[in-house]
Structure formats: C-alpha cells, structure tokens
Structure 1
Amino acid sequence: MFTPYSTTQPERSDVDHYQGAVALDFGTNWCGICQGAASAIEAAIAAAPSVRHLKVEDGPGRPLGRSFKVKLWPTIVVLKDGQEVARVVRPASAQDVSDALAVAA
C-alpha cells in the first residue's frame, strides 16, 4: 500500500519560496502507472530524509501541475530553494528518482 496523493495543493507562490530540497510527486490514486512506481519513489525518498516529499493529486483543474507543465503521471519535480533542478517522468526504478534527488542535495 502506498501513501495516497493529496487533493489539497499548496499555492505555486508558496512552492516557489520553499527552502531546501523538495520532491513534488504528481499523480493520482487511481493511476495504475502511479501505483506501480509508488514503491520505487517511496524507497528513493526514504533514502533521502532531508528531502521534503509532497504527493499532489494532478488532473484537469489542478493548477499546480499545470504550472509545472506536468503531462504524464507520475512526474516527480525536484526543487532546491524553490527552483526546479531535476524532473523524472514515469520512473522505472528507485535509482531514477535517487539520481534526480541527488541534484538537489
């Protein structure tokens, strides 16, 4: 079982002011690809305890995903001090996510 995506979203203006490393994980709870990638994503996040992980439900009418031009799920946008430094779309392994997180370290 994986941690569900939150229907509550932060404002983009708030995200732009986050300090440190943040992984914005965009997807939906009903998405089979998201469910399949969940264990790899969560394993990579668990190995990087200094990274703040936000699971954000995406879809039509969801402004945060649109502001990051998310097209496929899951997409992990890695930020450092509010700036995008890496992105992983449909990660195949925990290493894919770990490599992106390392850019923000």
Structure 2
Amino acid sequence: MTTNTANTAYSATAPERAEIDALQEPAVVEFGANWCGYCQAAQSLIATAFARHPRVRHIRVEDGKGRKLGRSFGVKLWPTLIFLKEGKEVARLVRPANADAIAEALGRIDTDA
C-alpha cells in the first residue's frame, strides 16, 4: 500500500475495504494504473495539491478487472480519488483537471491545514 506522494506508482497490493473504512486519519485513496495516460497526466496536479496537506494519507491502488477494492467504491474511470474523513467518503474526483479541485477536496478532509 503506497502512502508516499513522491512515489507515483500504483500498488498492486490493495488493502481490504474494512481497513480503509477503519481509517481515522484523513486519507485519499487514488485508483489508477501505471500505464494509464490520464493517471500519468494527473500526477503533477495531485502532487501540487498534496504539497499543502502533508498529514493526509495518500494510498495509491492499482485498479482493474477483478480488483475488489475499486469495485467496492464503484470506480469506473482512472484516476479516481476518494477523499475520506474517519473512513467515510466525503468527496470524489474522477480524472481531475486542475489542482484547485483537488486542493478544495483535500481541505474538506484536512481541517487542521
């Protein structure tokens, strides 16, 4: 499970949904694939937005056919970012086009920023 924003690779090992639901700290689960052009294009936007929210846990998960975690969240397009506060979804961005939208969603879960 990748939690470092500097590492842009998606982890093939996904946590269980119960583990995600039990998170107490603010977190973003990012679904995508390492070969996905949309995912690669979004990385600089995501990094820019996360720069002001270092305490938010960032979990990158490789998604695709048969991947349970992505299906449990209803992910259909990549990248999809799920913003969680105390394990509950607060916001979702699909193929984000600007860092401001990501920063706004981060602000909703990172109230100490």
Alignment-derived partner of residue 22 in structure 1: 27
Q: Runs of 5+ in structure 2 lacking a partner?
A: 1-5
SS at match of 1:54: strand
Distance 2:94 2:86 in 1: 21
1:81-100 map, 5 Å: 81-100=86-105
Q: 1:12–1:64: 8 Å Cα contact kept in structure 2?
A: yes
Shift of 1:46: 2.2
Distance 1:34 1:98 in 2: 17
1:1-105 map, 5 Å: 3-105=8-110
Q: 1:91–1:97: 8 Å Cα contact kept in structure 2?
A: yes
The C-alpha deviation readout for 1:36-90, integer Å capped at 9, x for no partner, is: 1111012212220110000100010110010000111000000001000001111
Distance 1:80 1:95 in 2: 19
SS at match of 1:53: strand
Q: 1:6–1:55: 8 Å Cα contact kept in structure 2?
A: yes
Structure 1 segments (4+ residues) deviating >2 Å: none
* TM value normalised by structure 2: 0.89
SS at match of 1:10: coil
Distance 1:97 1:31 in 2: 19
Q: Runs of 5+ in structure 1 lacking a partner?
A: none
Q: How many equivalent pairs are there?
A: 105
Distance 2:65 2:91 in 1: 24
Q: 1:26–1:58: 8 Å Cα contact kept in structure 2?
A: yes
For 2:71, give the aligned amino acid: R
